[in-house]
Amino acid sequence: MNEAVIHVVDDDPDMRAAITRLLRAEGYEVRSYTSVGEFLLNRTNGPGCLVLDLQMPGPNGLELQESLRSDPAAPPIVFLTGHGDIASGVQAMKNGAIDFLTKPVDPEVLLQAVTAALARDREMRDARARTAAVEARLSRLTVRERSVYERVIAGRLNKQIASELGITERTVKMHRAQIMAKMEAGSLAELVHIADLLGIPARSPVR
C-alpha cells in the first residue's frame, strides 16, 4: 500500500499509453488519467508523483499545479508537454515543478525526472512524519513544563526561571528532566532544534 504511484495525466491516448507502458516496464506502479478532473476525483494521499501534460481540455497542467500549491501533501510534478513555450516553463519551475520536459522525450530523461520526483516525495513525507512525531511529543508536556521549556531554550539559568515562575530552583530542575524525557532529547541543543523545527519562539528575558 505504501508503494509509490506515478500518476500520468495526458489527454492524448497514444501518449498516455506509451508513457504508462514505459514506466511500468521500469517497474513502477502507474495510474493514468485523461484529464485534471479525473485525477482530482481519484486522488489519494499516498506517495508518488505526477507526470503532467500542459494542454488538456479543461484545466491545464499549470492550473492544477497552482491549485496544489497550498497542499503540503501534493505530489511533486514533472511536466511533459508537446508545446513547450518559455513562459510556461518558467512559471512551472517557479511554482516548484521538479522538471519541465518536452515531447518527444528521451525515455532516460523521463525516468531520471521521475526518480527525482519520487525521491522528493519521500523526503517531504519523511519530513512531515518527523514533524508530526515531534509535535506529538510536545503535546505531552504540561502547561508548566511548557513554560519552563520556552525559557530553557532561551538560555535562561535555572535560578532565573525559578524566580520568574515563582517556583524553586529544585522544581525547575525537576521539570527540565521531565521535559528531556518527554521530548526524547539528549541535550539542550536538541531542545532548541526541536523548537526551531516546530516554530516555537524563544521567550526572551524580561528587561
Partner 1 sequence: MAHRFRVWSVLAAVACCLLATAPAGAQPAAGDGSPTSSPWNVVILNDADPTLPAFVAIDRGIRAVLSAPGRHPVNVFPETLDLFRFRKSQIEAETVALLEHKFAGTQLHAVIALGAGSLGFAEAHRARLWPDARIVFSGVPVEWLRGRTLSPMTVGFPLQHDLTGTAELALRLQTGLRRLIVIAGSGEYDRIMTAVARSQLDAHYKTLAIEYWLDRPIADFLSGVAGLRSTDAVLYLSIARDSEGRTFVPRDVMHQLAEVSPVPIYGPAETYLGAGATAGRVYSLQERGRRTGELVQTLLSDPATPASALRPLTSTCVADARQLERFGMAGRLPGDCEVRFAPPSLWRDYPWHVLAALAIVLAQSALIFALVLQRRMRRRAEEEIQRRRMELGQASRLAVAGELTATIAHEINQPLGAILANAGAAESLLRRGTPAADEMREIIGAIKQADLRASEIIQRVRALVSAQPTERRFVEVNEVVAETLTLIKGEASRRRIVIDTALGPGLPPVMADRIQLHQALVNLCVNAMDAMNDTHVDHRRIEVATTAVDGGVEVTVSDSGSGIAPEHLRRLFDSFFTTKAQGTGLGLSIVRSIVEAHGGTLSAENRATGGATFRIVLPVHVAGEARSKDAVAGARATSPGGAPLPERTLPDAS
The minimum distance between CB 48 and partner 1, in angstroms, equals 19
Contact residues: partner 1, CB under 8 A: 12, 14-15, 17-19, 21-22, 24-27, 55, 80, 82-83, 102-108, 110-111
Do 72 and 128 form a contact (C-beta atoms < 8 A)?
yes
The minimum distance between CB 46 and partner 1, in angstroms, equals 24
The minimum distance between CB 26 and partner 1, in angstroms, equals 5
By C-beta, is 54 or 162 nearer to partner 1? 54
**Judging by beta carbons within 10 Å of its beta carbon (0-12, 13-18, 19+), is residue 18 exposed, middle or buried?**
middle
By C-beta, is 73 or 111 nearer to partner 1? 111
By C-beta, is 51 or 74 nearer to partner 1? 51
Question: CA 113, CA 198: separation in Å to the nearest integer?
Answer: 31
Residues 6+ apart with CB under 8 A from 161: 148, 151, 152, 172
The minimum distance between CB 121 and partner 1, in angstroms, equals 21
* Residue 33, helix vs strand vs coil: strand
